[in-house]
Amino acid sequence: MLVSQLLSTSVLLCTVSTVLAYPGMEMKLAKILSRQDDAAGEGIDEGDSDELLGDLITLQDGQLTRVGLDIKQLLTGGSTPESDDQYINVPALKSAQCKQDTCCVWKYIADDMAKLFRGPSGRCTKWARKAVRLGFHDAAGWSKGTASQGGGADGSLVLNPRELTLAENNGLQDIGQKMKEWYAKWHDKQGFQDITMADLIQMGANVATVVCPLGPRIKSYVGRKDSSVENPLLLPHPSDPADMLIELFENKTIRPHGLVALVGSHTTSQQFFVDTKRAGDPQDSTPGVWDVLFYGQTQGTAPTPKRVFKFDSDVALSKHEKTQQEWQEFAGPGGQKHWNEDYAREYIRLSLLGVNNINTLTECTKVLPPAIRTYKAPDQNNLNTWLNSNSQSALAKSLSDAINEGESILNTIITSLLGRLKSL
Ligand code: HEM
Ligand SMILES: *[C@@H]1O[C@H](CO)[C@@H](O)[C@H](O)[C@H]1NC(C)=O
């Protein structure tokens, strides 16, 4: 490599173009303008999900447990889907006290997971994103029309030998392997027989979401039952038209606004399989951060650098008459708070598809790590430089890998440049 090339690389990396407004600015503005009209139970309209699920459909209110009643309210637009409930005085794992609290072992599991999900930059890692997607793909094997065959959030995505090998689940094989390891560690070795794969997967998704900066702290439940029976394949494809996606999710009781809220999780994502030539390209300018920039960039109202790769399905949803307005609201002032609440409520619904013992679940939200409500990237300038180039050079690739691992790319650049100096 020529010195001039090396220099131009480092000059490029140091002189930062500020084409993009720093997302933190939008965050502050969003806070100032924060909507006040979002209290629980208000503003349910025809775009919002409100169908009951599982055993809650037939149980009378008088038969409901505290958890059953709260979930019933959550599914019909009431109660609050996010919670800061903390675990005070966690008993030692091997103690008798720990055995008495169903949530106790989950605190240890959640801490284990969070270590893998949090990157040194403060962003969440590829493992966190995969865990969120895994939670979706396990639960998504359910619809009203196929409910008699079972399916849903039942652990089958990992327990069934075939499901994870399907092309639709590309990219999820390694997080599936992690789930198997966690299952072996907690279910077998520690003798906690009531740890199911279905719960591990859904708890994993909720730990991952709150580890991503700005992500909601979603009310979390355990007590789902496992199945290794292959679920019907009911996953969306990025080339599906919006009408079809809306119907696919309606069939799962998720109404158009719910779909808009849930696909917002692409805010953290970097794609690998939609366009393999652009492997590692993110779906907004802040991969690993649970912000609303994805909504603005996908609909084209926020400046979008070259490297941001939009899925056709997301663009289609940002424009469809049933979803466009909600999309716009999440992108606009106060969008973060509105989105977090809606995402949390809709994810609770998703994570309960096919669960027929909702009334006997235990709430263990207190085991989750705390929410991170403000975030400033330590390496935003370098990130912007990477985003504004479409180079697929080795350096660009190593930056993309580092971001995928949740690392700060300040260090990656220095290491990479030093490596090149050595090879001169
Ligand atoms: C319209 C419906 C959806 C479509 C078409 C879709 C499609 C995709 C595709 C193609 C990828 C990239 C995979 C890759 O190439 O590596 C992806 C990633 C992802 N999806 Fe979706 N998705 C949809 C809905 C959802 C929902 C409802 C959730 C969760 C609630 C979700 C969570 C994720 C996450 C977290 C990633 C990032 C995974 C990673 O970084 O490894 N998606 N999705
Ligand atoms: C929705 O469910 C109906 C009834 O089971 C089915 O005929 C239809 O194909 C489903 N739609 C999609 C997009 O999966």
229: Cβ contacts below 8 Å, ≥ 6 apart: 150, 151, 154, 156, 160
Q: What share of the chain in percent tops pLDDT 90?
A: 81
Would the pLDDT of 28 be above 60?
no
Q: What average pLDDT does range 402-406 have in this prediction?
A: 96
Is residue 187 part of the annotated active site? The answer reads no
45 is in an annotated binding site: no
Would the pLDDT of 240 be above 60?
yes
Q: What average pLDDT does range 138-144 have in this prediction?
A: 98
Q: Phi and psi (nearest 5°) for 176?
A: -60, -40
Using alpha carbons, list the distances in angstroms from residue 296 to 48, 49, 262, 389.
21, 23, 15, 20
* Comparison of pLDDT for 127 and 424, the residue scoring more: 127
**Structural domain total, the chain:** 1
Q: What average pLDDT does range 219-226 have in this prediction?
A: 98
Of how many residues is the chain composed? 424
Please tell me the least confidently modeled range out of 2-16, 155-169, 207-221. Answer: 2-16
Domain region containing 390: 2-423
Using alpha carbons, list the distances in angstroms from residue 415 to 366, 398, 399, 400, 410.
40, 10, 11, 14, 9
Would the pLDDT of 261 be above 60?
yes
| Of 259, 322, 347, 330, the residue nearest 294 (C-alpha) | 330
| Of 187, 124, 125, 116, the residue nearest 155 (C-alpha) | 187
What pLDDT score does 44 carry?
65
What pLDDT score does 31 carry?
31
What pLDDT score does 190 carry?
79
Q: What average pLDDT does range 155-172 have in this prediction?
A: 97
Instruction: For residue 26, give the CATH number of its domain.
Output: 1.10.520.10
Ligand 2 in reach of 244 Cβ (< 6 A): yes
Would the pLDDT of 22 be above 70?
no
Q: Ligand 1 centre and the CA of 269: distance in Å?
A: 8
What pLDDT score does 8 carry?
41
Q: What average pLDDT does range 213-238 have in this prediction?
A: 98
pLDDT digits (tens, 9 = 90+) for 76-94: 999 999 999 999 999 999 9
Q: What share of the chain in percent tops pLDDT 70?
A: 89
Q: Ligand 1 centre and the CA of 95: distance in Å?
A: 40
* Stated pTM of the model: 0.90
CB distance 368 to 207 below 8 Å? yes
pLDDT digits (tens, 9 = 90+) for 320-334: 999 999 999 999 999
Q: What average pLDDT does range 126-130 have in this prediction?
A: 98
| Of 82, 113, 124, 115, the residue nearest 289 (C-alpha) | 124
Per the rule left: phi > 0, alpha: psi between -120 and 50, beta: everything else, 48 is beta
pLDDT digits (tens, 9 = 90+) for 241-259: 999 999 999 999 999 999 9
> Measured between alpha carbons, how far is 256 from 321 in angstroms, rounded to an integer?
10
Q: Which atom of ligand 2 is nearest to the CA of 247?
A: 13
Of all protein residues, whose CA lies closest to atom 41 belonging to ligand 1? 130
With tokens 């775009």, the residue in question is 47
Q: Ligand 1 centre and the CA of 77: distance in Å?
A: 25
Q: What is the 3-state secondary structure (H, E, C) of 53-75?
A: CHHHHCCCHHHCCHHHHHHHHHH
Would the pLDDT of 97 be above 90?
yes
C-alpha 111: how far from chain center = 17
